[in-house]
Amino acid sequence: MQRTQTTPNSAQVFLAGLLRALGMFTLASRIDRRHPPSSEATAENSRSFVLRVVQPGLAGLMDGSVSTLAPIFATAFATKHPFTAFLVGMAAATGAGISMAFAEALSDDGSLTGRGNPIVRGSVTGIMTFLGGALHTLPFLIGNLHVALLAAYVVVAVELVTISAIRHRFFGTNWGLSLLQVVGGGALVFGAALIFGNA
C-alpha cells in the first residue's frame, strides 16, 4: 500500500529554506519528506526565505552595525571611560532593536507583498539589529580604552565584511561595490562620532 506524503508545515519549510540558503541541500531534502522538491518549488522556497528572513535580517544587521557607531564611539572619545561607552552602546543597541522590530512588523502585514508573518519578520529584524549594535559594544568591557577601541574596530570591520558577504551571496551585489557602499556608510557615521566625541 502506497503511503500518502504529508505536506511539510511552515516550520519545516522555513528550516528547509534556511538549510538551502546555507548550501546544506542534503539535510534540506530530508526535511522535505521522502524526495527533494522540484526546481520550481526550490526556487520559490529560496525566494520566500530571502524575502521573509534574509532581507529583514540584513536590514536589521546593517542598522544595528552602523547606526550605533556614533553614540558608542562618541561616548568613548568624550568620556575616556570604556564602561560608560558599553552602557551607552547596549542602550543604543536595545533601543534600535526594539524600534526596528516594530518598524518592520508594522510596515507590512504580508498580505499584499507575500513577505510573510509580520511578527516573524519584526523579530528577525529586531534581533539582528540588537546583535549588530551589541557585538561592537562588548569590547568596551575591557578596562583599557585603547585596547577596547582596537578590539571594537576589528569587530566593526568583521561586521561590515559580513554584511557585504550577505549582500553578495543573496542579492548578487558586486563584492567591491558592496564593500564600498557598506564601509562608506560606516565611515560617515564614524566621522560623526569623531566630531561629537571631540567637541
Q: How far apart are CA 69 and CA 136, in angstroms?
A: 8
77 vs 115 pLDDT, higher one: 77
44 vs 178 pLDDT, higher one: 178
Question: In the prediction, which pLDDT does 1 show?
Answer: 43
- On whether the CB atoms of residues 158 and 37 are closer than 8 A, the answer is no
- On whether the CB atoms of residues 75 and 197 are closer than 8 A, the answer is yes
- On whether the CB atoms of residues 142 and 151 are closer than 8 A, the answer is yes
Counting runs of H as helices and runs of E as strands, what totals does the chain give?
9, 0
Sign of CA dihedral 11, 17, 23, 28: positive
Q: Which pLDDT tens digit goes with each residue over 127-153?
A: 999 999 999 999 999 999 999 999 999
- On whether the CB atoms of residues 136 and 69 are closer than 8 A, the answer is yes
Question: In the prediction, which pLDDT does 3 show?
Answer: 44
Prediction pTM value: 0.74
Mapping DSSP to helix (H, G, I), strand (E, B) and coil, where does residue 107 land?
A: helix
Q: Which pLDDT tens digit goes with each residue over 71-96?
A: 999 999 999 999 999 999 999 999 99
Cα–Cα distances in Å, from 15 out to 11, 45, 90? 6, 10, 30
Question: In the prediction, which pLDDT does 5 show?
Answer: 45
